[in-house]
Amino acid sequence: MTKKKEVDPVFMLDFISSIEDPRIDRTKKHSLETIMIIAICAVICGAKSWNEIEVYGTLKLEFLSKF
């Protein structure tokens, strides 16, 4: 049986924040960090497509913005 490794949330946030956002500024509705965190949470919760990630993000954005 494989041991699960714990990931430091601060390290994850620092890593995600270091990723360069290739989008044009005027087209940014949400930060890249927000999009990536929502995508990761959605996949952990079972999302299997971009549409499911979008639905998850729409439903959970207010809740997740508290953090």
**What mean pLDDT comes out for the span 12-18?**
88
In angstroms, the CA 23 to CA 41 distance is 22
Domain boundaries, the chain: 32-39+46-67
In angstroms, the CA 65 to CA 59 distance is 12
The b/e string for 26-44 (b: 16+ C-beta within 10 A; e otherwise) is eeeeeeeeebbbbbeebee
Q: What is the pLDDT of residues 24-42, one digit of tens each?
A: 999 898 889 989 999 999 9
pLDDT at 66: 80
